[in-house]
Structure 1
């Protein structure tokens, strides 16, 4: 059974951009598309609706919303298999539940929240922190730099061995017949008094850090099935500087930026970390947050 691409819809402009992205992803990957609209209307209207023969007005509005979204997706991609779901519960709970049986979950960075000026909505952040499958958050506005078709950027973390984010990024690049840009950043060594007085020592330390980052990137890439994706052009980028800054620079003009997250053993969720928070708030392109459990779900 093929797992669907799930997208949260609420009628907002950000939701429509997320729907367009999800529909294109499902069509490109030959996966079904599932539209989910979550609302607590049933909780608040159940008492009054019990005596009414007609359906609650909020239910009618919700059903019309997902029907319009379904028609929109099928106009863009007539071949798509689309199903809809109206869930009478909190949006985060509904989408986290859907993530158990989804290939990925897509939503806009902002929905119909009370604070329209927020860069990232609470639903997007909560879902990225709790989802059981990869989550793609689509920015509410178009990027300043037009995206290069098929360009996928992935941040390579410091963990050794296979990385879920790298595996997912390669799959995304392959489905686009595009390019994969693997970014490994490293920080400058501390410049103590000895380093300041001996520039040759400073230079040697810097070169060593750069070489170590290069080796780590190569080790991670060796775990990928690059031979199985000959259509993908691989670019390696080893850069000095803060990871969040370098990933933001690399993601300008990208189709997708991919970052990884690990399951937090002390909490019911993932450990996003400051770099992922920065990407979700400020990246100019869609951001995929891939849990480390993604490898387990694929039998890797």
Structure 2
């Protein structure tokens, strides 16, 4: 049996938007969709689950649906289901959350702890329903972006859309380089930023030759570069490193910024 895509539901409008997105995503991947609701044992969730199932069925009638209600906190329930999931999908805000740009506590906890990719469904209708024809992936130096790049290429391939790879860099404060060198030239004494980006994309470009790829090297803060690029994207993909000696992922400042403020759905992909 195919590994399912799992979406968290709580009856909020944000979770129903996540159901819509997840149903379309399950159809693209050809996998089952599993609806998960976490509630106290005495809570009758049948109406909530039925409403979400009906909505998913209308969005993607060919997708195989299942549902589960678990008597534990929502973050733990989702993380547990994520051990056997293609990905976890959550809304940007849950019931009782403040309105606005910030991500709810459940979404943040799941993104920090899950073993599989986590998609937080954010943004307006045009971003949630793939009207831009673009997936954006953030690429960092080192090994942290490899799985995220592969995920982003696969998404662009299934969506038949273009991929924009963004690498942001800056010269460390106090770098003792030669005088009169530009920032790019100074950084290139170590490794040219364009080469960092090209190397990160090479393997996936060979695997998905049908995906149109463009690259963007930006001198400046990564969070600003990614948020700017995401303004015209259907999905923003970022990587997350495993924490050394601890359970979970290392969600740095960039991850937190895009999770809280991205104008489109965002996928956090653990490094393998």
TM-score normalised according to structure 1 size? 0.83
Tell me if structure 1 keeps the 8 A contact 2:128–2:264.
Answer: no
Aligned to 2:202: 222
Higher mean Cα deviation, 260-269 or 166-175? 260-269
Q: Please say if 1:256 is aligned against 2:235.
A: yes
Q: CA, structure 1 residues 94+162, in 2 after alignment: closer, same or farther (shift >3 Å)? A: closer
Q: Please say if 1:24 is aligned against 2:24.
A: yes
Tell me if structure 2 keeps the 8 A contact 1:67–1:84.
Answer: no
Q: Tell me the alpha carbon deviations over residues 197-233 of structure 1, each in whole angstroms, 9 at most, x when there is no partner.
A: x5xx232x53242671111111111232x23323310
Which SS does the other structure have where 2:2 is aligned? coil
CA distance in 2 between counterparts of 1:144 and 1:25 reads 14
Which SS does the other structure have where 2:58 is aligned? helix
Aligned to 2:72: 89
TM-score normalised according to structure 2 size? 0.91
Which SS does the other structure have where 1:111 is aligned? coil
Q: CA, structure 1 residues 77+114, in 2 after alignment: closer, same or farther (shift >3 Å)? A: closer
Q: Tell me the alpha carbon deviations over residues 227-280 of structure 1, each in whole angstroms, 9 at most, x when there is no partner.
A: 332331000111111000100001112010000001112322110100000000
Q: Give the superposed CA RMSD.
A: 2.4
| Aligned-residue offset at 1:193 | 11
Q: Please say if 1:103 is aligned against 2:103.
A: no
Q: Which runs of 5+ in 1 are unaligned?
A: 46-57, 294-300
Q: Please say if 1:133 is aligned against 2:116.
A: yes
CA distance in 2 between counterparts of 1:25 and 1:8 reads 14
Q: Tell me the alpha carbon deviations over residues 169-213 of structure 1, each in whole angstroms, 9 at most, x when there is no partner.
A: 001111101111110111145478998xx5xx232x532426711
Which SS does the other structure have where 1:281 is aligned? helix
CA distance in 1 between counterparts of 2:164 and 2:175 reads 34
Aligned to 2:184: 206
| Aligned-residue offset at 1:86 | 1.0
CA distance in 2 between counterparts of 1:84 and 1:116 reads 27
Tell me if structure 2 keeps the 8 A contact 1:161–1:219.
Answer: no
Which SS does the other structure have where 2:255 is aligned? helix
Higher mean Cα deviation, 263-272 or 92-101? 263-272
Tell me if structure 1 keeps the 8 A contact 2:24–2:60.
Answer: yes
CA distance in 2 between counterparts of 1:141 and 1:218 reads 32
Runs of 4+ in 1 over 6 A off after TM superposition: 143-146, 191-195
CA distance in 2 between counterparts of 1:104 and 1:38 reads 17
CA distance in 1 between counterparts of 2:129 and 2:35 reads 27
Tell me if structure 2 keeps the 8 A contact 1:189–1:206.
Answer: no
Tell me if structure 1 keeps the 8 A contact 2:139–2:145.
Answer: no
CA distance in 2 between counterparts of 1:190 and 1:114 reads 39
Larger Rg: 1
Q: CA, structure 1 residues 186+80, in 2 after alignment: closer, same or farther (shift >3 Å)? A: same
CA distance in 2 between counterparts of 1:33 and 1:145 reads 18
Aligned residues: 270
CA distance in 2 between counterparts of 1:287 and 1:125 reads 12
Q: Which runs of 5+ in 2 are unaligned?
A: none
CA distance in 2 between counterparts of 1:28 and 1:80 reads 10
Q: CA, structure 1 residues 253+86, in 2 after alignment: closer, same or farther (shift >3 Å)? A: same
